[in-house]
Structure 1
Amino acid sequence: MTSSTVCVVALGKIGLPLAVQFASSGATVIGADVDQRAVDLVNRGEEPFPGETDLGVKMKAAVEAGLLSATTDTAAAVAKSDAVVVVVPLFVDADGVPDFGWMDSATREIAKGLRPGTLVSYETTLPIGTTRERWAPMLEAGSGLKAGEDFHLVFSPERVLTGRVFADLRKYPKLVGGINASSTAAGVAFYESVLQFDERDDLPRANGVWDLGTSEASEFAKLAETTYRDVNIGLANQFARYADKVDVDVQLVIEACNSQPYSHIHQPGIAVGGHCIPIYPRMYLWNDPEATVVRAAREANAEMPSYAVDLLQAAHGDLAGLAVLVLGAAYRGGVKETAFSGVFGTVAALEARGATAYVSDPMYTDAELEAHKLNPHRGEPVGAAIIQADHAEYRSLTPADLPGVKVLVDGRRVTDATAWQADGVRRVVIGG
């Protein structure tokens, strides 16, 4: 168990579970966030957001034990800490250009409180070279300290999914790379101390902390693993679209291919959403604009919502004036998050063809859907439906649940084909 003090900057859906994990390993953790509401909730031991397994119980225990607190004063929190872990969001624009605004602001605040001997670890996914070329000079300028000599600086990417952060922390190796050997060694030692797990349970053990040598290698590893997934899905989507042309079930083809250990084709579908896969390949392209395979895959995946509407039009006919229900605003099932969700592209494609698009989602209220500029379904009659998110609630859907629907485009293959064998109703899947 560690006795260090750790500052976690940004208490979002990754940062807060990390802070709780560090506290569970015995560290005294100060969470820093610009959102006063989130800070107040954490200090009361209350979850600022739903959906993260075990977060409420673990966070309350850490707060009551005096191991976790929160503040809006980042510089003051850093000044009290032996290690600083940064999980501030970074986005890219439509052209793939990173917007460093929030991270620059947080880094300047960190620099104000930075002390000699402190470890600074960035976990937010970054373009390759950012830790050394952007954060090191910025931290030096604001602190008067020398990176790699007076303080340690590493990049250690988060490799977890929201909803299962604690399980993923113990399942996947923690990657660490610093701007020099001493920084890397300090980073490895830190993560080994704060990734401690209860040996009394029967969950899988963590696979350790991996020394990747340099911050560039660690940055590269995160971009490579997420870009691989996008490229793989893009290939699966290309296969699915061709399967539709030749009237072959692509699912049977993929299962056959994956029975051989050298093939691992992912699943095709209506959209690739979330904070990671739609963003990080574009971030990689910012580093490597000649990566034509990556660019083609990203473009293929971005086209899938429109392709799903093409399938609807082929099955139904002219969509002008048709009321269509889009099932699922979230980017994936069971997660209340719309970041880069396929719902937006699907609605846009429907409206471009003259259809009226309604949206429903079991995780969202009508007011929340309206806040995302989506048209909530309030029982209006609809003639067709498109499943956009693989919520568990949609697996048991039948035509009786959607009266008046003549065509269902199941963009996630979650429904039972036999349940949709009804007169006057057609079920369509991507690559079916």
Structure 2
Amino acid sequence: MRICVVALGKIGLPLAVQFAAKGHRVTGADTDARVVEHVNQGLEPFPGEEGLAERLAEAVGAGTLRATTDTTEAVAEAEAVVVVVPLFVDDRGTPDFRAMDAATRAVAAGLRPGALVSYETTLPVGTTRERWAPLLREGSGLLPERDFSLVFSPERVLTGRVFADLRRYPKLVGGIGPASAKDGVRFYEAVLDFDPRTDLARPNGVWDLGSAEAAELAKLAETTYRDVNIALANQFARFADRAGVDAEAVIDACNTQPYSHIHHPGIAVGGHCIPVYPRMYLWNDPGAEVVAAARRTNEAMPAHAVDLLADAYGDLEGAEVVVLGAAYRGAVKETAFSGVFPTVAALRERGARAYVSDPMFAPHELADMGLRPHTGQPVTAAVVQADHPAYRTLSADHLPSVRVLVDGRRVTDPALWAGVRRVVIGDGAGRGGRRSPGRSAVRA
């Protein structure tokens, strides 16, 4: 097949490489000329995606993948078009469709009869049928479902492990009609590989969910579930601190029962998905009180971590504090909705001087994000915000002036922090709690 992938970001580019690896001729379209230049040279435009550098170079070298800034021209040559343009929402969850509208109009201008258009960007329920179908029809003069196929198929991968996740999980597809769904299933069966070692009760492969709306809701539901689950774990942790109980030990015990799948508490929920898609769901369903309450709970955790620091340290006015980790999660060089920003803001509100350190970011990169880089200045307190593997061996010797450490991810080794007041969210010792003797966390 001739395939066009619209937007060569951290999901779109690995998808284009995957399709090319299956022997298809792929053109990636992107508005960023720098990205296009890198791709055409066989060079990854961003670091951190396992296997991408090698696979990209191989696909470009084999002539099965190229890039362009002309979306319409690329679509005119394609039998299948996959759109992965990001959709942003504001603090109230209102989607900003401008970038996707522009991309859709560019697709429509080049759309050919018989082609398939698949949207993989997470969308509010109803968007594929009610917004994209009319725009494509208006711009192409073609009728969806009759002259071309239109489906929604959510991406279900994490950056850093896209290729592995593409093999691991079922690919969900929902069409605006049966003909579209059939073409969508056929397309993804031809471009993806699936790991045969799977749960026989829930085999992977391509699943037709029956409608575009069902597929749209599936993506919002699975990410919103995670946000609600994490909020519940955070609520348990805050209570456990008051009750003198180790929440992690309780959660691990609960999860030995097959009907309990409680996540673990932490200082923040970040990334492109979990903080964003619950807001998008609320845009569809504003009366969902459980979802709204969970979002508020998780948004309050960075300030709660700073409260824990103040309880252990005392007045933070003038205190020199380093926040360890700018990334939203460990081993990923990405700061989308990272907890570092509200943590730094909460420290500044209390009069502290906040520095930031991260093994994946150079000092000038932190400064470019409005953060004050830590370059060896003496600090008397530290807050762990990201669970980078390097922090497992971090010790008091690395920060000799620190009196209090708040570990927001339970990643540090307590044996390496002798002589420092170490506070962990939900360990039963914070916020006035007193852990019962003999109780400690037991994690698998």
Range of TM-score over shorter length: over 0.9
Secondary structure at 2:317's aligned position in 1? coil
Instruction: Give the C-alpha shift of residue 418 in structure 1.
Output: 2.4
1:185 aligns with 2:212: no
Whether the 8 Å contact between 2:194 and 2:204 is mirrored in structure 1 is: no
Which residue in the other structure is 1:429 paired with? Answer: 424
1:113-151 CA-partner distances (Å, limit 9, x unpaired)? 001001000000000000000000001110111011111
Which of 28, 36, 51 aligns to 1:39? It is: 36
CA distance in 2, matches of 1:227, 1:128: 14
- Kindly tell me: are residues 204 and 269 of structure 1, through their superposed partners in 2, closer, same or farther at Cα, counting changes over 3 Å? same
- Kindly tell me: are residues 79 and 204 of structure 1, through their superposed partners in 2, closer, same or farther at Cα, counting changes over 3 Å? farther
CA distance in 2, matches of 1:344, 1:408: 18
Which of 160, 163, 167 aligns to 1:163? It is: 160
- Kindly tell me: are residues 198 and 306 of structure 1, through their superposed partners in 2, closer, same or farther at Cα, counting changes over 3 Å? closer
- Alignment length (residue pairs): 425
1:393 aligns with 2:390: yes
1:208 aligns with 2:172: no
Which of 367, 378, 383 aligns to 1:381? It is: 378
Whether the 8 Å contact between 1:20 and 1:59 is mirrored in structure 2 is: yes
Whether the 8 Å contact between 1:78 and 1:114 is mirrored in structure 2 is: yes
CA distance in 1, matches of 2:367, 2:264: 31
Structure 1: 4+ residue segments shifted above 4 A: 202-206
CA distance in 1, matches of 2:88, 2:334: 15
TM-score by length of 2: 0.94
Whether the 8 Å contact between 1:25 and 1:197 is mirrored in structure 2 is: no
Instruction: Give the C-alpha shift of residue 197 in structure 1.
Output: 6.3
1:299 aligns with 2:291: no
Which residue in the other structure is 2:434 paired with? Answer: none
Counterpart mapping for 1:115-126 below 5 A? 115-126=112-123
Whether the 8 Å contact between 2:167 and 2:195 is mirrored in structure 1 is: no
State the one-letter code of the partner of 1:190: F
- Kindly tell me: are residues 360 and 99 of structure 1, through their superposed partners in 2, closer, same or farther at Cα, counting changes over 3 Å? same
Instruction: Give the C-alpha shift of residue 204 in structure 1.
Output: 11
- Kindly tell me: are residues 239 and 135 of structure 1, through their superposed partners in 2, closer, same or farther at Cα, counting changes over 3 Å? same
Whether the 8 Å contact between 2:166 and 2:193 is mirrored in structure 1 is: no
Instruction: Give the C-alpha shift of residue 312 in structure 1.
Output: 0.1
Give unmatched runs, 5+ long, in structure 1. none
1:346-396 CA-partner distances (Å, limit 9, x unpaired)? 000000000000001111111111111000012111000000000011111
TM-score by length of 1: 0.97
Which residue in the other structure is 1:412 paired with? Answer: 409
1:177-225 CA-partner distances (Å, limit 9, x unpaired)? 00000000000000000003699xx999981000101000000000000
Whether the 8 Å contact between 2:392 and 2:411 is mirrored in structure 1 is: yes
Secondary structure at 1:399's aligned position in 2? coil
CA distance in 1, matches of 2:86, 2:153: 15
Whether the 8 Å contact between 2:3 and 2:80 is mirrored in structure 1 is: yes
Secondary structure at 2:302's aligned position in 1? helix
Identity %: 69
- Superposed CA RMSD in Å reads 1.4
CA distance in 2, matches of 1:122, 1:198: 24
Which of 97, 116, 135 aligns to 1:100? It is: 97
Give unmatched runs, 5+ long, in structure 2. 428-444
CA distance in 1, matches of 2:326, 2:284: 32
Which of 352, 355, 360 aligns to 1:358? It is: 355
Instruction: Give the C-alpha shift of residue 421 in structure 1.
Output: 2.7
Which residue in the other structure is 1:251 paired with? Answer: 248
CA distance in 1, matches of 2:327, 2:406: 17
CA distance in 2, matches of 1:293, 1:41: 44
